[in-house]
Structure 1
Amino acid sequence: MMKLLLPFILVGTGGFIGSILRYLMIIVFQDFSMIPFGTMISNIAGCFLIGIVTGLSVNIPLFSNETKLFLATGVCGGFTTLSSLIFELGLYYKEKEYFLASFYLIGTLFGATLAFFAGLKLVEFFE
């Protein structure tokens, strides 16, 4: 039973840690500018970290699957709002699947933007 629950515990614990770190970054940088530098720095730093995890996972089997779940999906996933996308793009890149990487990136950005504006319109509709 514990073997089945362990991945969820690792992702949840890592996500908790990453989310708290992101919130701290937002608090630290919120008064410096109109630009949300805390979120920007979290996204960029988290993607840098997930690049390291990906590189070490693919080239050097340094991390166990459990460690990758904790660090990549959990901590980086909670720390950023972008790390999962970048991680998956990195996997496509490593496999030289450039078309799939491009399709995934463009599709995600277009779909997310479209969904955002659809949500805005839905709220406007019910106002």
Structure 2
Amino acid sequence: MVYLAVAIGGFLGACARYLVTEALGTLRGFPIATLLINLCGSFGLAWFYTITVERLPIHPHVRAGIGTGFIGAFTTFSTLNVELWSLWRSGLWGWFGLYAVASYIGGILASGAGYTLAMRQSRLHTVSTGKDVDP
């Protein structure tokens, strides 16, 4: 059954990625759509996994369908690298460097922001319900 959840999530995530890519495309040769997709995915995955562990337990199949399926299909490491190669090959060194740094460092920062937000939300929930906070 988990396979079905991942397949449905993957279908929806791939469709969402396609729609965002079609809507945004590139900005003077810079792959803005993929950058935004991957940064949003980094933030979203870190937030989602943290909040579902800390505050909002959900069924493992739903978690896999959203995390592995939807977000996994929405984001794309292969497209990132093909676009980096294309910028490199075209001699667009500035765009190449900006895209690489924004993608990798930005992805790490977005993941940290998602985790931090989820932990803050988890603590607020704990305070409002009066439950003890584990150290």
Whether the TM-score (by the shorter chain) exceeds 0.5 is yes
Q: C-alpha distance in 1, partners of 2:37/2:26?
A: 16
Unaligned runs of 5+ residues in structure 1 are 1-5, 95-127
Aligned with 1:29 (options 24, 28, 49): 24
Aligned with 2:58 (options 60, 63, 66): 63
Q: C-alpha distance in 2, partners of 1:62/1:39?
A: 30
Q: C-alpha distance in 2, partners of 1:61/1:53?
A: 9
Q: C-alpha distance in 1, partners of 2:49/2:25?
A: 30
Unaligned runs of 5+ residues in structure 2 are 78-106, 116-135
Aligned to 2:94: none
Query: Does structure 1 residue 41 correspond to structure 2 residue 32?
Result: no
Matched to 2:18, the amino acid is Y
Matched to 1:74, the amino acid is G
Q: C-alpha distance in 1, partners of 2:56/2:23?
A: 35
Alignment coverage as a number of residue pairs: 80
Matched to 2:11, the amino acid is F
State the shift of 1:81 in Å: 1.8
Tell me which stretches of 4 or more aligned residues in structure 1 moved more than 6 Å: none
Greater relative contact order (CA < 8 Å, ≥ 6 in sequence):
2
Percent identity over paired residues: 25
TM-score (normalizing by structure 2): 0.53
Q: C-alpha distance in 1, partners of 2:26/2:37?
A: 16
TM-score (normalizing by structure 1): 0.56
Matched to 1:75, the amino acid is F
Matched to 2:64, the amino acid is L
Aligned to 2:2: 7
Matched to 2:21, the amino acid is I
State the shift of 1:32 in Å: 2.9
Aligned with 2:76 (options 58, 66, 81): 81
Q: C-alpha distance in 2, partners of 1:73/1:25?
A: 19
Question: Could you list the per-position Cα deviations for residues 71-120 of structure 1 after superposition, in whole angstroms to 9, with x for gaps in the alignment?
Answer: 100000010025xxx8xxx8xxx9xxxxxxxxxxxxxxxxxxxxxxxxxx
TM-align CA RMSD: 2.1
Matched to 2:52, the amino acid is S
